[in-house]
Amino acid sequence: MAKNASMVSQSEQEQLIEKLGIFKIQGRDKRGRKVLRIIGKVFPAKLVSVEALGKYLEEKIFPNFGERPFSVVYVHAGVHRSDNFPGISALRSIFESIPVNIKDRLEAVYFLHPGIQSRLFLATFGRLLFSGGLYSKLKYVSRLEFLWDHVRRSEMEMPEFVYDYDDELEYRPVMNYGLESDHPRVYYAPAVDYSPLSVYSMRCIA
């Protein structure tokens, strides 16, 4: 019989989140903000409860930001509703449970590889589902090359499947939109990065 969140203890759920590397703070964007990278494909939606996820974020992730602003890179490639998508109501519950001071310091959410369905859904219901101005901070990014305009590439590790998915988009030019938003507050020009490159690189820069 398949397991679900009610059959796994909360501590085991938190350990699973840690083991899968769903949430990682990696480097900074080109405005100097720390970046929280989220890999949607590996999220075990059926095994992790909203309570366990909220506790993990509160104890393991949020304290690392201190009092400084930060941004999020959410990778949507490979996400399927039946396997690794927790559901809109769960997402809203998680967001609403985040402390106000953390929400206020979140300045940008880069949504990498959005699907047509997710774009349409958020365009229709995004403002209703997410309070605190989160929707206005959402930036759709269709390709990795556009993400690197805003995030320091040498400091951001991406799983190989993300690069493979991005390569597939070469054959789907209609999806090649760059950086977009459903609201007028999006910015297109990349910020200037005056800092030296990180001493490490997760993938060779072409």
pLDDT digits (tens, 9 = 90+) for 166-183: 998 877 655 444 444 444
| Percent of the chain scoring above 90 in pLDDT | 49
The answer to whether 65 and 102 have CB atoms below 8 angstroms apart is: yes
- The answer to whether residues 13 and 49 touch, using CB atoms and an 8 Å cutoff, is yes
Reported as half-sphere exposure (CB side, CA atoms, 13 A), residue 80 has a value of 3
Q: What DSSP letter does each residue of 91-158 carry, written as one string?
A: HHHHHHHS-HHHHHHEEEEEEES--HHHHHHHHHHHHHH--TTTGGGEEEE-SHHHHTTTB-GGG---
Q: What is the pTM of this model?
A: 0.79
pLDDT tens for residues 6-59?
788 999 999 999 999 999 999 999 999 999 999 999 999 889 998 999 999 999
Please, what are the domains in the chain? 21-171 (3.40.525.10)
